[in-house]
Amino acid sequence: MRIATWNVNSIKARLPTVLEVLDAINCDVVCLQEIKCETNAFPYMELEERGWNCEVLGQKSYNGVALLSKHEIEDVTKGLPTIEDEQARYIEALILADRPIRVGGLYLPNGNPAPGQKYDYKMEWMDALEQHARALLKQDEAFVLCGDYNCIPTPEDCWDETVWQDDALALPQTRAEFRKLKYLGLADAFELTDNRAHQYTFWDYQGGAFKKDHGIRIDHLLCSPQACDRLQSVEIYRKARELEKPSDHVPVIGTFED
């Protein structure tokens, strides 16, 4: 089973590219972030024609998450249950494959400028995610929390630590909150299977960042122990950034035993 996370940065604005990438990566489940459209405006028809079952939590012009699956979907949760949140940032479901697996898709707040209200919201959201992850772990099942975490976990996950050290994505408190998730018993799929330094999932549109490889790794798959037992490999699909009208993020794909 192949499970991917991808911040598409507006699915309607980039639909041809999104469809091309989805066909190329050949996944069973894909979590999308920043779809930037209301739930009813999501391109269901184009995706369902390609065999996707779609669950969507949209928001006009901003945020928005979707979960696509080639398998049937059950027990859908829209919105992080441990926080009152007007923003569309979390979706979760049980994927009814031969060996079922629960998948959560999330778009964690950016938090800039920090300090300030936006960073306080980021910290509140990370704490709520930790609470929810703790509850999921008690169910003793395989699950993966996929998404744009807006967190650069270590200095080796960005092209230049001095450029990012005062950014909300790399502040010590942000990194500490991310580590808390792992201390619960979750594991970063990339760290388990690859863990090379300077492997990135996001490159800004400005300043030729992609050509210079001035990137950061902020898109992650955090796995429960049961999912880790099935994890085989992780791929960062850089080719998506080379296409016409690309997102500034690329898919991160985890391969798990069926």
**H or E element at residue 57:** strand 53-57
β-bridge partners, 2: 255
Judging by DSSP bridges, how do beta strands 29-33 and 2-7 pair with one another?
Answer: parallel
Residue tagged active-site, from 90, 107, 149, 200: 107
DSSP per residue, 101-131: EEEEEEE-----SSSSHHHHHHHHHHHHHHH
* Pair 69, 95: CB distance under 8 Å: yes
Q: Indicate which residue of 90, 119, 132, 249 is catalytic.
A: 249
Q: How far apart are CA 31 and CA 148, in angstroms?
A: 10
> Does the annotation place 219 within a ligand binding site?
no
167 among annotated binding-site residues = no
Is 34 annotated for ligand binding? yes
Known binder of ligand: residue 132? no
In angstroms, rounded to a whole number, what is the distance separating the alpha carbons of residues 35 and 39?
9
- Tokens describing residue 195: 């863990």
Residue tagged active-site, from 90, 119, 132, 148: 148
Q: Which 3-state string (H, E, C) describes 173-232? A: HHHHHHHHHHHCCCEEHHHHHCCCCCCCCEECCHHHHHHHCCEECCEEEEECHHHHCCEE
Burial of 164 (0-12, 13-18, 19+ CB in 10 A): middle
Q: Is there a binding annotation on residue 150?
A: yes
Residue 148 is a catalytic residue: yes
Residue 176, beta-bridge partner list: none
Is residue 198 annotated as involved in ligand binding?
Answer: no
Q: Catalytic site residues?
A: 107, 148, 249
Annotated binding site for Mg(2+): 7, 34, 148, 150, 248-249
Annotated binding site: 7, 34, 148, 150, 248-249
